[in-house]
Structures are given as structure tokens and as C-alpha cells.
Chains A and B, each alone.
Chain A
Amino acid sequence: MRVKYFDHIASNPLLPEVLEAMMPYFKEQYGNPMSMYDLGMNAKGAIDTAREQVAKLINAKPSEIIFTSSGAESNNFALKGMALARQDNGKHLIISKAEHHSVMNTARSLEKQGFVVTYVPVDEYGMVDPETVKKSITKETTVISIIHASSEVGTIEPIKEIAAIAMEHKICFHTDAVATAGNIPVDVKDLGVDALSMSAHQFYGPKGAAAMYLKTGQRILPLIYGGIQEGGRRAGTENVPAIAGMGKAAELADAELPKRMAHVRQLRDRLTEGILKIEKVHATGHPEHRLPGLASFVVEYIEGEGMLLLLLAKGIYAASGSACTSKALKASPVLISMGVPVSMAHGSIVFSLGIGNTQEDIDLCVEEFPQIVNRLRAMSPFAKEGWGAMPAEGDSKEGA
């Protein structure tokens, strides 16, 4: 059975050109980039090239790119590193309720170290209001971090406006651009951000390579101390093959961005149109300001995991923000902050499309999905009578 992979927001396949760019550094060019002989110099050269390629993708200077191991590391580094470097000026941070766990849980860890964190809400489209961010600023605020686009509902946040507010108040601004960099235009100068996280496997590069953009002159404390790799800001022998792959993936993304976006947008619209024909299915996130490849819904009266398992039986790979599919058994915080009732958040389903998907894949999904929904609804005690029969406590627990 052909794999219909609609979970590109989780990870992407590696492009063959990217693997090719990585191979020499797995094999003959095995030197340590810190070494002075040719094997080291060649490895160092690969990193320098990748740094230029990644910098070009987001309109940064090569010296502003710090390679890391993952989007999560970049987010940890940005938040902790910038907050701790500024703790003499204040200990207040602002993030949103739409953040990825790697921002959310880093902020929580900083709370345990005496920082105060404001979690700004999102509206029914998953959008952060720049005015709310502005009102949350105190004399103590040193760092604001708002996600560029949510991987669950696809909404693209007004980063430029929020960054301008931060700059006006001389506050460091970071954005988690893991879902956007390499998938939509990301220009750090235009956005006006001080720091930005991005990850290679989100744009057909390898896992294990990611980067943080840090604007020239911004102070940061390292997460990892040791040698002088990455300008002393991130010690440890570099993952040369992965970094070389990230560079190549960035170069390809930069060249093909409009084509890729048009491809996934057209497929997404076709999928959305098909799925919204089913009764009691609602699109989540902003209808226009959203990732071109991401279609997200809540399906009433049924639960996400059941949908995923039945889709999988048809070779369709998707995702859900439902409580049952999360290891923590908690409903998606983004959906809850958007005001989606907990009962409905259980029916979350997310399709994220990529360059390998075809119209036939989409048509098959549009054909199969209503049957899957009907099959699960036929078993649901709510399908006939509505949500009235749901145990009352179910809607109260995680309402905040």
C-alpha cells in the first residue's frame, strides 16, 4: 500500500540531494572541524558553507547562526540563555499559550528559578493579540517569545507587530520558527526578531541538525559549556554530516519555496473543502493566516486516536491533539486556549502536507475519511443525542 504521509509537521523525509551532501562527512571527511589538517579543514569548510546557506534562507548574517541539535535545544537555549543573561535587569518573561512544549516547559523551569512568566492567551483562531502582549509588559520584562506558527492549528502569528513592540520596550524577542522556516518565507530583518529557532527536518533536512539565529550584539549564556565551537556559545564537536545536510536543505528550500508552497496550498484547500462537507466538522486555526500545508479540524462526537488508527489502516498517516493520543492524556493547550470545549478537542485531527503528496493521495483521504467518521460515530453515545450525555466533570477540568 502506498504511504499517504500527511504528518510533515512531525517530520519530513530526507531529500536525496541532501543525503548526497551529507555522505562525504560520514565517510572520508571524518575529521574534527577543530583540527588544523586537511580532514579537519574540510569538515570546517562544510560547516561554514552550511552556515551561509542557512543564513541566506532567513536573511541573516552567517555569524548570526548557531548550530544546535534540535528545535527543542534552540528554544531552550534562546529562552534560558537570554533570560539568564539579563536577570539583573528583571525576571519577567512573556510567552503565549500556543507555544510548543519546548518553550512552554522551559518557561516553567525558569519559574522554578524565580522568574515570573505571563502566558498570553490566543483568540478563537489561535492568534495572539499584539496589544495583549504590550499590556503584559512590566519593568521587569526581559524576554518575549511567541511561536511563529502553531503546528497544531497552523495559525501564523503577527510576529512583526509583536517584535516591534518588544523593540520599542528594549525587550529581547524570540520566535520559535520551527514550523515555518523553510516552509514559508522567513526574513529575520523584516520580522525584526532578536532570536529565532529553526530545525532541519522540518524542511527535508536531517534530524539532529537545527539552528538558532541570534542577532549580532545580543547577549546569551550557553546551555553547553566546553570548547569554542559555535563561537563559544555552543560547545561540543559539531554534527558535521547533519549540519552539511541542513545547509543543503536550506539552499533547496530557498530556491523552491514558492513552488513548494503553491503545491501544498492547493492540496490543502482541496482536502479542507472535502473534509468540511462532513457534518459537525469544524476547521481550526485562522482561515487565511495559516501554514500553507496544514489542515486542522475538530470532528464532533468522536475521538482522535480512533480516527488515526482507522486512517492508518488505509495507509494515511495523520496526527491529533486529542488527550488520548498524547502520552500525558491531556487535551491540546492551544485548542483549549482557543475556547474549543474539552469534549470537542478530543476530536482533533491534523493533516500536514508536503512536496511528495499528490492529488490522488488527497482524493483518497477525502473519500475514506467520511466513512471513518461515520463508523466511529455509529459507536458513539453522543452522535445521536449531542454532547448532553458527556459526564459533567469532563468540561471543567482543564478549562483554564
Chain B
Amino acid sequence: MYSAKLMDHFTNPRNVGEITDADGMGMEGNPTCGDTMKLFIKVKDDVITDAKFQTFGCGAAIAVSSMITEMAKGKTLTEALAITKESVADELDGLPPQKMHCSNLGADALRKAIEDYRSKHVQG
């Protein structure tokens, strides 16, 4: 039911964990199925230098989290904001239709992390 690429990101997830001195943190949850994702970013000169995640959820939710951290790293904040649910799913060679909405939390969590970063650095 899952692509080989998705299974690889589920069984060998990249960037698992917490960044204790993160510059931004975004949390996104789906109340129906319970999937919850926390995404941490480090930012330097408007570029995401590091990203880590913690996720509660199914195989798809974990793979999406792993993939979005990989996609975000090295991107400018503007480029990172252009990442969509669809582009994450495409990078994973597709998601089963019923998982497309409930487990595809990465893009929203990343947007929240960037907003969190910007809210802290606007005045500063």
C-alpha cells in the first residue's frame, strides 16, 4: 500500500528528534486520526540550516515528517514556504488517498515553524 520510498523514510526516518535551542517550532495535529507532528528549525541568514521532527502517527505520517525535514534543509524561508502537501506526497512517490489529508501534516507544521521564527525575529 506504500511506495518503496515511503517505506524507506518510515523505517529509516531522517532527522528524528528535538532541537532544544530551535529558532522556530511548529506543531500540527489532525484531531480525527490523532496524528501529531512537532517540527523544529534552525535558521541562519534566512536559510533553514537544520530541521528535526517528532511525530505520533501512522507510517505515512512518519515518512512525511522525515521527507519534509529533508526538503526544508538548505532552503530559504520563502522557498520553504512554497513546499505543499502535494509536493511532499510527490517526493514520497505518492500517498494512499485516505492518508493524503490525515497524515500529510508536514507542510502545515513547517509553515507554523517559520511563522514562529518570524514572530520572534520581527522585533528583534
Interface residues of A (CB under 8 A from B): 301-306, 309-310, 313, 322-325, 327, 329-331, 342-343, 346, 378-382, 389-391, 393-394, 396-397
Asked if B59 and A309 sit within 8 Å, CB to CB, the answer is: yes
**Distance between Cα atoms of A372 and B105 in the complex (Å):** 23
B106 CB, nearest partner CB in chain A, Å: 14
Interface string of B35-70 (1 = CB under 8 A from A): 111100000000000000111111101100000000
Tell whether B27 is near chain A: CB-to-CB under 8 Å.
yes
| Given A303-B34, A394-B29, A329-B98 contact (CB < 8 Å) | yes
8 contacts between A and B (CB under 8 A): A306-B10, A325-B58, A343-B34, A346-B56, A379-B13, A380-B54, A390-B29, A394-B34
B side interface size, CB within 8 A: 28
> Most B CB atoms within 10 A — which of A301, A325, A390?
A390
Inside 8 A of B124's CB, which chain A residues have their CB? none
**Distance between Cα atoms of A310 and B35 in the complex (Å):** 18
B27 partner, pick from A305, A346, A389, beta carbons under 8 A: A389
**Distance between Cα atoms of A35 and B31 in the complex (Å):** 59
Determine chain A's interface SS by DSSP, over half rule.
loop
Asked if B29 and A306 sit within 8 Å, CB to CB, the answer is: no
> Most B CB atoms within 10 A — which of A302, A305, A396?
A305
B57 partner, pick from A324, A330, A389, A396, beta carbons under 8 A: A324
**Distance between Cα atoms of A374 and B93 in the complex (Å):** 28
B101 CB, nearest partner CB in chain A, Å: 9
Asked if B32 and A310 sit within 8 Å, CB to CB, the answer is: no
Q: Which 3 A-B pairs have the closest CB atoms?
A: A391-B29, A393-B31, A324-B58
Inside 8 A of B33's CB, which chain A residues have their CB? 323-324, 329, 346
User: Which residue of chain A is the closest to B54 with respect to CB atoms?
Assistant: A381
A26 CB, nearest partner CB in chain B, Å: 32
Given contacts A305-B59, A381-B38, A391-B30, 5 further A-B contacts (CB under 8 A): A329-B33, A343-B34, A379-B13, A379-B55, A390-B56
Asked if B31 and A303 sit within 8 Å, CB to CB, the answer is: no
